[in-house]
Amino acid sequence: MSISQEQAADAGYIELLLDGDRGIYLPRDFCDNFIGAAGWSGYDEDDVKTVLNGPDDEWYWEAWQNILDSAVYTDPETGAKWFVYQDDSLFAVRADIDIDWELY
């Protein structure tokens, strides 16, 4: 059974990581502030280096998409896995929760 975004957020299954006000620098800020911290895995270091170069790098957006598709955070206390999801702002979303992104 799926739950709505609102239900998932209320239950703590969706957490805001970075506000969308960062604009084109959000990917760079995510890599600078989160990647490399304990618990994060699944991403390619070359993609991270590209994103850290900033939005003027011709491969910035492709590298960012690769990170969005592959980065995973594993909570060291619970073992729960989280993926990143961008809808203007950037969120961490519990991977084991079935969220219907169309339900409001």
Residue 55 has which token pair?
């939005």
Residue 10, H or E segment: helix 5-10
Mean pLDDT of all residues belonging to the chain: 90
Residue 3 confidence (pLDDT) above 70: no
Query: 11-53 pLDDT, tens per residue?
Result: 678 999 999 999 999 999 999 999 988 899 999 999 999 999 9
Mean pLDDT along residues 72-101: 91
- Spatial distance between the Cα atoms of 14 and 11, rounded to a whole number of angstroms: 8
**Cα dihedral value 94, 99, 102, 104, nearest 10:** -90
Residue entry with tokens 């304990």: 38
DSSP secondary structure letter of residue 2: -
- Residue in the structure block whose two tokens are 């990143």: 84
The predicted model gives 48-75 an average pLDDT of 97
DSSP code at position 4: E
